[in-house]
Chain A
Amino acid sequence: MRVLDRRLWRLVKASKLQFGTVVALVFVGMAAFVSFNNTAISLSYSLERFYQEFAFADLFADFSPVAEDAFRRLGELPGVKAVEARLVIDARVDVGRKLNPTLRLVSITPGQKINRLYVQEGSLPEGREHGLALLAKFAQANGLKVGDKISLIIRGKLFPITVTALVDSPEFIYAVKDAKNIFPDDLNFGVGFVNLPLLQELTGLNGQANNAILLLEPWADPEELREEIEDRFEELGLKSIVTRENQLSHAIVSQELKQLNQQSRLIPAIFLSIAAAVTYFMVTRLVEGDRTAIGMLKAIGYADKEVAGHYLEYALAIGFLGAAGGVAAGLFLGKELTELYSQFFHLPLLAQRLYPPYIVLAVLLPVVFTGATGLIAARKVMSIPPAEAMRPLAPLPGGRSNVEKLAPGLWARLPFTWKLVLRGILRSRRRFALAAAGVALTYAVVFLPFYLLGLWDTIFREQFGRFEKYDYMVSFSVQVSSAAIPEIKGLVRVTAIEPYAEYPFRITHGWREKTVVARALPVSTKLYSFEDSTGKVVRLPRFGVLLSEYLAKELGVEAGDLLTVSSYATKGVKYLVPVKAVVRQYLGSGLYMSLEQLQRLTGLGDAYSGVLLNSPENVKEILQPAANVAAVYSSRDLSDLYAEYGGLLLASITVMVLAGGLLGFGILFNTANISISERIREFSALRVLGFSREEVYGLILRENAMALLLGLIAGVPLGRMLAVWVASSTNSELFYLPLTVRPGTYVVTALLVVLFVALVMGVVWLRVRKVNFLEALSSRLT
């Protein structure tokens, strides 16, 4: 090893903590880069392959049951490569537990070309055999194996059936019942695949189908075809049609991928740029402190490049060590993360793969980042002449600060120590700015997870406490009349009950169009409550509709605008309805109207899709076995799931807070140390003048307190900006994140940041306690 390299190594060892914190910044950035990117790529690659090999459909259409033959017309449309008619029915299954899970029965055919199943175990049921293939995760959660016999409950009747296979489907990678249930609940919801003739027989829908999946030619535009089908098949009973982009499972998986990709850029970008900035100041300080040594090296014959290279190596070592550790940790974390995802995503081909370009990039990026700033700093070597070695130490740069010039009166009144602090800050404005920026960034990074946690709670409490006040929602397989209400009252003790009706509607505003399920409620509804974006309570209007914020934004609609609505229930006839208000909705998106408004549009009278009710009893247990009951939602179940997944969120919050802390520590510890070594002679002189060690430390403390104050002030808007950015990129038909920040979030974040800074100052005190000021004053060793 060259002697200069040996010196470098000793410099690093002598400033382990300083060096280590910057390496740690690179480490965290690159660990995030590698793990997120690798997971994102593994996910999207597996997804793409699964979709390709198992022919994931491009269009998904729901119909009222019609003759199978009617679907053939879909295949005649130009651009449609294949179409398959299916029967999709939600039933329940007796798995020997008290509560029967919901099983979505989806028909399959032997020569199926679209949405083919990946068989994990067993084989698909044949012919008229009473067999079904179960979604593997559901089977696992319920302890079901191939060969087990279970009973399907369809309209109250039991049908014994044998499990012949455990499968995965491209359609149910993220298996949730509907958009309201954003978390998979493999115990209580699953999918069973049954041959079409058998399913038709079991449901009494012989020769009929209610769902179509379409595979398009590569050149066809799915959106165009969707519109065409909507126009031409509405009177045939088309309920809704979505492209792959809006298919629930795919939409959720893509959303997750999008976030992962976003994080794979944001986090490394923050950490790397901070590491690069800190590196710049560290190398600058090294060069400044080494002026005489640099002169000596040049005088004895080292070339500029060789000397600059010495300092550049320091910067490169930071980048390289951080990158190497980060890549190793990233690969490990990537594996863990991929495993975590495989708990949510039923993706059979999911495996972590190594993507060499990303590994190379993960090493190159930090080396280039820290190398670039290191080089800028190391280039200062060039301007130091060899004769510097002959000069006595230069006096510290000084002079009156602007404050002195602009407000001499104020300056004169400042206590001496504050003058010292202010001069110190003004002399190294850029480094002070970095310290303040470090505090601000730490604030933002710590703020974000607390904002999300607060949001979690807000969404949860407002959506299920304020907006939707019912305990249970009971949906029926076949619509019922209002006579069902007294029937239900006979079965369970209810404290409130209201019917509701649901129909998919196509809504158009200008050129913008959406298909949504409209929910119609009694005008006097007490179980639903609406609020506009200012928080003002909105009553459900007798005529006109309410639109959720996300939908309104997507359609470019404001209160008072007219919408065009149509549905299979209106036989394709288009109606104009006014939007009475835009209302808050955090989970899913919706269109709300009164039952009267719905009856006006559809001409349908006393027909309801389900009831909302409050009851002290376990309605789920009582009503689920009822013949016509399709599903019983319990707000309680949803809140339990939320709480469960909240734990996961809490874990990621801890990680974010720690990362934020590291960021703050890395910046402040280094700027404080650089400041000390830069001013050591000044401090030494003060010691000689009679300042105590504590008083000298007090100067450093004051300087950092100023940075803390400025950083906190700048951190609040920065944190909000980050939150807005994250929220707005998360908003979709599935989620709408409100920008409400609880005051407590600001306070808690600020307290944590103060704690981090206090920690830094504690470590700095340990260092100040050890400095031999008098030696620093006389020594010329570098």
Chain B
Amino acid sequence: MSESIIKAEELWKVYGRGEVSVTALRNVSLEIRAGELVVFVGPSGSGKSTLLNILGGMDRPTSGRVFYKGMNLTGYTEAQLTQYRRREVGFVFQFYNLMSALTARENVELAAELVSDPLPAAEVLERMGMKERMDHFPSQLSGGEQQRVAIARALAKKPSLLLCDEPTGALDYETGIQILSLLREVNAVYGTTVVIITHNSAVADMADRVFRMRSGQIVEVRENPEPVPAERIIW
């Protein structure tokens, strides 16, 4: 069993104050091991996005601690968090968030420029099956293609941790499956730890481990000794 890459201890997240406060996370503790592909499933409002934001250094917990490779993220300054996101984390968003004025390749370069030793944009895009359409602008790409570019963008920085927020949420079934198998491939080829959050329970079958969330709490952790290949998932 490999060592832990990220570890959370007793995380609480409360938005607002007093009577109007909303508790998004209630005492969440977890540990993700390097090289794992994990899936967080839960209905909307269960706290999975909040958790992803905190793990990705985009938000801070109200209390509790997060350790990345043994370092306490909760004690980081804004600048340190920026460096953490820059060097260690790759994000894949539900709506891809590509910049419309940049070509596919440039969207990847946008991220690659942030680190000293990135993967060549063309190479990652090729790997994502986008070789022929590298110089197209996002508006000329389908949703699935855009999401491939977004994954390439995340990977170009060679992150240790790839955080995916509903990566198939805006895609049709077949394209969704393609994206999921791509994420599995990334996990296998680059050894990147992949965290996927989704409200789609079917996706959970492809994970090494599944965290089920409800009302800001992790209600179930399940090991998948034999993860199903993404192509065989059906929903």
Interface residues of A (CB under 8 A from B): 2-4, 6-7, 10-11, 14, 292-293, 295-304, 385-387, 389-390, 392, 779-782
Contact = CB atoms under 8 A, between A and B. Distances in A.
A780 B99 contact: no
Main secondary structure of the interface of A (DSSP, over half): helix
Contact of A3 (B86, B96, B113, B157): B113
A292 B138 CA distance: 15
A3 B106 contact: yes
B139 interface: yes
Contact of B139 (A385, A390, A781): A781
Contacts of A300: 85-86, 90-91, 110-111, 114, 153-154, 157
Contacts of A781: 98-100, 138-139
Nearest to B49: A390
A302 B114 contact: yes
A548 to B, nearest CB: 66
23 contacts: A3-B113, A4-B110, A6-B102, A7-B110, A10-B102, A11-B101, A14-B101, A296-B91, A296-B97, A299-B56, A301-B85, A301-B87, A301-B111, A385-B59, A386-B58, A387-B59, A389-B93, A390-B53, A780-B95, A780-B96, A780-B97, A781-B98, A781-B139
A301 B78 CA distance: 11
Interface of B: 49, 52-53, 56, 58-59, 78-79, 82-83, 85-87, 89-91, 93-102, 106, 109-111, 113-114, 138-139, 153-154, 157, 165
Contacts of A4: 110
B93 A390 contact: yes
A10 B101 contact: yes
Cβ-closest 9 pairs across A and B = A301-B86, A781-B100, A296-B97, A10-B101, A386-B58, A301-B85, A3-B110, A780-B95, A7-B101
Contacts of A304: 78, 82
Contacts of B49: 387, 390
Nearest to B121: A3
B91 A299 contact: yes
A301 B153 CA distance: 12
Contacts of A302: 82, 86, 114
A2 B113 contact: yes
Contacts of A387: 49, 53, 58-59
Contacts of B87: 301
A325 B93 CA distance: 43
Given A4-B110, A389-B91, A781-B138, A293 B97 contact: yes
B144 to A, nearest CB: 15
A389 B78 CA distance: 18
Given A2-B113, A301-B86, A387-B59, A293 B99 contact: yes
Nearest to B108: A3
Contacts of A303: 79, 82
Nearest to B58: A386
Nearest to B57: A386
A59 B2 CA distance: 100
B56 A782 contact: no
B146 to A, nearest CB: 9
A229 B83 CA distance: 82
A301 B53 CA distance: 13
A7 B102 contact: yes
A308 to B, nearest CB: 13
A734 B167 CA distance: 80
A6 B90 CA distance: 23
Contacts of B83: 301
A390 B82 CA distance: 17
Contacts of A297: 110
Contacts of B153: 300
A299 B139 contact: no
A292 B97 contact: yes
Given A11-B101, A390-B94, A781-B100, A385 B58 contact: yes
Contact of B97 (A10, A385, A389): A389
B215 to A, nearest CB: 20
Nearest to A301: B86
A166 B160 CA distance: 87
A389 B95 CA distance: 9
A390 B114 contact: no
Given A301-B85, A781-B139, A7 B97 contact: no
A779 B111 CA distance: 22
Contacts of B78: 304
Contacts of B97: 292-293, 295-296, 389, 780, 782
Contacts of B95: 292, 392, 780
A3 B139 contact: no
Contacts of A298: 58, 82, 85
